[in-house]
Amino acid sequence: MAATVADVVDGTVVVAIGADATGASAPTLQRTDLPNGLTVLSESVPGARSVAFGAWVRAATLHERPDEMGVSHFLEHMVFKGTRSRTSQEIALSLETLGGSLDAYTEREHTSYQARVLDEHLEVAASVIGDLIFHPLIRPEDLALERKVILEEISMVDDTPDDIIFDVHNRAMWGDHPHGFAILGTRDTVKALDVPHLRALHTRAYHPGRLVVAASGRVEHEHLLEVLQRTGWTEQPMGDRSPFPVDPVEVAGPHAEHVKRKDIGQVHVVLGGQGIRHGDPRRFTFALIDMLLGGGMSSKLFQRVREELGLAYSVHSFTSSYADAGSHGVYLASAPETAQQALDAVREVLRAVADRGLTSEELAAGKRQLRGQLVLSMEGISSRMYRAATTALYGEPFRTIDELMALVEAIDEEQVRDVARDFFDPNRHILVSLGPKAVR
């Protein structure tokens, strides 16, 4: 981990992450923990003319009860219906008319609100997102309308088999644990949610003690802190910081499930299991294997299943990492008469890697590819903003590009064999399928 240099300025702790022990080197990431509990991170990117600004609320699907499934996503929608100082139309126009963008999403562990603007409009972005987070109206008259929108969103997923199959796999893996919940909720839970549910979540979670703010691009840390002060972020009370209760994770054992759908023309398949959590030291080895197996057109699965056998248009691997767990697997879609053959081919590829690992030539090629992907991902300021936030959300060290390259270069054949054996053996995986015909 890179060294850090800390100072106390006006009662706040300012940490320069990436500087040497004397502070001689210019830091690439700076962090301030404000007295009201707000965590602020920034990374200045030379040459950028725009800023990516985001706020992460430490509350999402993982913290929901079964009867309130979807409440985090519902609240994320409702804050855009109006605040104390802006109508829904004014929110929509606030950044788009400046050439910027405003977005929000709900995931397993966090709810995020993000903007991309020219550097001169950073204060507008901070003001709008602060308004959404701290001052939403959450009016009863907006609830029924937004409920219809979310039910349409659920219908859209129901009409998209390659979306449904991932929810099916999550439920098969995690069972009744919130990791297996549908982020959108179900029709029944969404219909049952009302204003008190949303306001209770807002009171519990939408305050500085549960917030991480990150910015990257053409931004100076001290200026960012001044912007947050001028737009009211520093005036908000800390709020409740007690952790949400979360049950321990238990992953289901290998088994197969099928959802019968006669109205679609393909069989959609996910074969996968437990993956890598955030902070696991094996993550780069895992990422290298996963990339070579199903990360693109050059991957083993794409070349075998699509190019050599012609059994699927789409076949790829996927992975998700959380603080306490992870999941990964392979997705494919194939005609009913060829789906079993396609699945068998996937298993053969996975089994070969699980049994033998990678050759020295494959490992060297994988290192080149992973290094390239890591560097290219850091060319975007939104990616850098997310990386900055991750250091606070998951307690991960901030690493320079050179440090990341060194970690990739250090991967050896023994590490690959161990990770491949532990995670990529298809006999350990859960199989789910959806379509007119089951596979096994």
Phi, then psi, of 29 in degrees rounded to 5: -135, 135
Bridge partners, 248 (sequence order): none
123 is a catalytic site residue: no
Between helices 283-294 and 413-423, what is the axis angle to 10°?
70
Q: How far apart are CA 347 and CA 339, in angstroms?
A: 12
Catalytic residue among 43, 68, 76, 109: 76
Q: How far apart are CA 332 and CA 129, in angstroms?
A: 38
| Catalytic sites, residue numbers | 76
